[in-house]
Structure 1
Amino acid sequence: MLRRHWWTARRFGLSPGKLVRRLSRSGLPKVLCVSLPKAGTHLVERAVCLHPRLHRRILPTLNPENVGPEGLGGVLRKLRAGQVVLAHLPFEAEYPELLHRERVKALFVVRDPRDIAVSLAHYIAGRRDHPLHSLYRERPDDRARLQLAVIGDPDARPPAPALESILSSFAGWLESEALVVRYENLIGERGGGNAGMQSGTISAIYSYLGLEGSPAFVSEVGARLFSGESPTFRKGLIGQWRQEFDPELEGLFDRSAGSWMAVYGYR
């Protein structure tokens, strides 16, 4: 519990060390972290906000329902140097120019879509406050819920989106100037990844944002990334789809969303 309170204070810039550093913002980036749902939003948040010069603005993760009447532009205009905003926002054609005008650096977080489907199915079924919770709980078992995560249900109220539609709506971020961050490259050994790849990814993030990060500091951040302190953390392991997809589900996924695997760099 104390560790979670510590992380909450640190990520929002309320720890003693960060409060002092917030007095000097010169040269610091403004950061937008966009991610596919269940692609590792809070993993990247940790990588960014463990840096002593950055903190998250006190806002929920933005989505089309809560971004506000002024849209993303209204949020970014109020963003200050050294602040970070998280978002699940599908790509819009005007976003690159908006980011350029407001001098905001964007990260786009992606993950193997099959693991996204697994994570979505478990997450929605376990969150009573999620709009689709009842729809998922009505399904007889985990396999049926995973099938729902893949193909959706347009007749449900509210409709459950197919994974294909989610991948399609976010794909424009891949062609923007955002730095693409792969979950598998960032998770590290405790999540089934690679320590060297993790360090390289953290270093690439800091370099893109114009921040310093010595090899020793990057190693320290990597050691603290894999954490259950996120409110949406479940297992965090890569390749979980192999344990939950049977051949029939693999075929269903390939027919429904398989064409997006190559687009996102997973085939």
Structure 2
Amino acid sequence: MNVGRLLGQGQGQRSRAPKLDLSHNIILYLEDISVSFDGFKALNNLNLYIEAGELRCIIGPNGAGKTTMMDVITGKTRPDVGSAWFGQTVDLLTLSEPEIAAAGIGRKFQKPTVFPNHSVFENLELAMAGDKSVWKTLIAKLSGEQLGRIDEVLKIIGLTERVEALAGGLSHGQKQWLEIGMLLMQDPELLLVDEPVAGMTPQETEKTAELLTSLAGKHSVVVVEHDMAFVRSIARTVTVLHQGSVLAEGSMDQVQNDPKVIEVYLGD
């Protein structure tokens, strides 16, 4: 993992980022989004709305467009047509990837990307939002407020007892929690979390459900996941993607009993 890349996500200068307007209680608008790759429509007239403070689960078969959707939200992929707004006033399609991160969108990929040769504490310190060079980061004395924030995040992710441990020595689940903590250090409004429980033990999966549920309200959280038992344990609203569009949306019971969803996804 590149230190400069991570710190760049915390830069982009949150203080100068566009102000987030949540007056309509919607934090993310994706409207009529289409993306094609060599003639294949990865997203096809996708419409998705995420409420402020919501925990939303996105499911769907491979190739449904879940990753491309997250790529559009974070600026990695530009749609052919459509609009993407963060709150009422932030046009995501006009911002670069670092600017989108600075505006308050954090993304956690499926594979944890922590600094293995640094301690849990140092990983959180390096991820802290702010305009700073790597050298300044390593020699700076943390303020009481910064130390308090690290302590708070350690408690949220359940790694207070492992604060001095090298990240490389953590279990798979603990690395996932640490990376979520690294995102939290940047104080994002919206977190995108990709398959967080893949490869986890049942105990780690249960703790991850508790962690993500605890984040809802203060943050908006979008979870892409294939583990249906895990989705059921955390979801209030589930969106099912198929062939780049929303196939169904509602409670887990509603989507599980939807004939269209059973046919294209759950029936497998």
TM-score bracket, normalised by the shorter chain, equals: under 0.3
Normalised TM-score (structure 1): 0.27
Relative to its length, the structure with more helix (as a share) is: 1
Relative to its length, the structure with more strand (as a share) is: 2
